[in-house]
Amino acid sequence: MKNLRLIHVAALVLALTASGPATAADGAALPWWIWPIALFAVSFIIGIVAVLAGVGGGVLFVPIVGSFFPFHLDFVRGVGLLFALSGTLAAGPVLLRTGMASLRLVMPLALAGSIASLAGAVVGLSVATDLLQIALGATVITIAIMIWAMKAADFGVVESDALGDLLRLRGEFEDPAAGMRIDWRTRRTAAGLAAFAGIGFFGGVFGLGAGFANVPALNLLMGAPMKVAVGSSGLIISIINSSAAWVYIHRGALLPLLAVPSILGVMLGSRIGARLLSLTPANVVRRLVIAVMLLAGARALLRGLGIWT
Amino acid sequence: MDVKPHDGPIQRLYARWLDAATKTGFAASLCAFLLYVSGALPPYVAPERLPELWGLPVGRFLEETGAPTGWRWVALMDHGDYLSLAAVALFGLITPVCYLRIVAPLLRHGERLQAALAIAQIAVLAAAVSGLFAGG
């Protein structure tokens, strides 16, 4: 019950954020210190919700803060990358120790993704803001629909391909829920590498972690068990975003007054989210995430089209 | 199933370094930010001025403030905002440091392909850190 109440409070705060869109004029009228506090609060809640929903925090952070806070999208995307980076770095050690993330699986995929994400970040900082808002809005709405429609698949132990064999993309982990040790291997390695290059580019453009795309690529395309897909996705985000974040740092698109409260908020929120994970009804959180993403995506789309500025 | 016995220890080594580095980054960010917002260290751009500036595209922001790009911000670390930026930038260095730590164990166990992947990833991250891809 306590967890449900917390989820409802989180929903209320996110809805209040969404109902009170800030303009640049609001931003200048309010005292400066209001905004870091608001960012900390929103990031803290996103940190809880993101872990519970199994999405990267960036996919909620960028559309919400980009649409409802007075900051330019250039700065929001820079913070978005650091946001997803710090959240996944914090979760990484536990995922690796429990075997939910596989370093062997992550290394080739993250390399393809991080090369592409550098190109994506450079493109993202060169494109007109209106166009980016439209693309971001359309993308976030599409992702919300994908999350709504997506189902996990369990393929059992799949047959490795030659490249997967060469890279020895296989492992085992103890599944406490199933009470057994599960062996796994992956397939379609070349397609997986191409998919992660595409996802990395996309994440670099929009400042997202793109965990929503990593998980289906690992699970549906490459045949990794769902738990390994979710765990490895987090570690992949932490590596890919490390390269794209530097593009924003060097371009001067990272404001510490926005970045630090967001990072501290998501790192604390993620820890609480991880503790609530086993106790929270997944459907409640899933619906909340989809609703917030649809709202924030629509706002970004309408803002880009000049309909709701 | 052919899982190499050294996979686990190398993964745990990476996890240990990741854990320590992330906690260090968190503590450094918190300390630097408190120095910044408390005014203990003077800022390069005063927080009071930021609400007029943070709605601008990054190019206009840089013109208005004269803020540096590339690595030139390192010379401004005696200012609260740039000390905070340095602390935040630590998060971007954690992955290459952890990768660097596992290269030798990978080579010791004959994992030449994995070691090559790790070195390639370090090279990509080093190029990003250097500002090679930051362009204009």
pLDDT in tens, A51-73: 776 666 787 898 889 888 999 99
* Residue A118 to residue A20: CA distance in whole angstroms: 34
Best residue in A94, A166, A255 for a mutation probing chain B (most B CBs within 10 Å): A255
Under an 8 A CB cutoff, do B82 and A256 touch? yes
This model of the complex carries an ipTM of 0.90
Q: Is A98 helix (H, G, I), strand (E, B) or coil?
A: coil
Measured CA distances, B27 to A118, A234, B40, B76, B84 (Å): 28, 22, 17, 21, 11
β-bridge partners, A172? A183
Among the partner-chain residues A93, A99, A252, the one whose CB lies closest to the CB of B58 is: A252
* Residue A58 to residue A43: CA distance in whole angstroms: 10
Which one, of A46, A62, A49, A51, lies nearest residue A91 by Cα?
Answer: A51
Under an 8 A CB cutoff, do B94 and A108 touch? no
CA distance B44 to chain A (A): 11
The position carrying tokens 């770095």 is A89
Query: Hey, what amino acid is at B111?
Result: E
pLDDT on residue A24: 47
pLDDT per position in chain B (136 positions), as tens? Answer: 456 667 889 999 999 999 999 999 999 999 999 999 999 999 999 999 999 999 999 999 999 999 999 999 999 999 999 999 999 999 999 999 999 999 999 999 999 999 999 999 999 999 989 987 765 4
Measured CA distances, A115 to A108, A170, A196, A244, A247 (Å): 11, 24, 10, 9, 12
Measured CA distances, A195 to A142, A220, A251 (Å): 17, 12, 27
> Which B positions 85-104 lie with beta carbon below 8 A of chain A?
85, 87-89, 91-96, 102
Question: Which residues on chain B are in Cβ contact (under 8 Å) with A85?
Answer: 91-92
- Cβ distance B131 to B95 under 8 Å? no
CA angle A38, A40, A46 (to 5 degrees): 100
Residue of B nearest to A30 (CA): B51
This prediction's pTM: 0.82
- CA A192 to centroid of chain Cα atoms: 19
Contact B12/A at CB under 8 A: yes
Higher pLDDT, A301 or B123: B123
The model's pLDDT over A110-166, given as tens digits with 9 standing for 90+, comes to 999 999 988 888 888 788 878 888 888 888 888 888 778 776 666 667 788 889 888
β-bridge partners, A171? A184
Contact B79/A at CB under 8 A: no
* Residue B10 to residue A9: CA distance in whole angstroms: 41
pLDDT on residue A207: 72
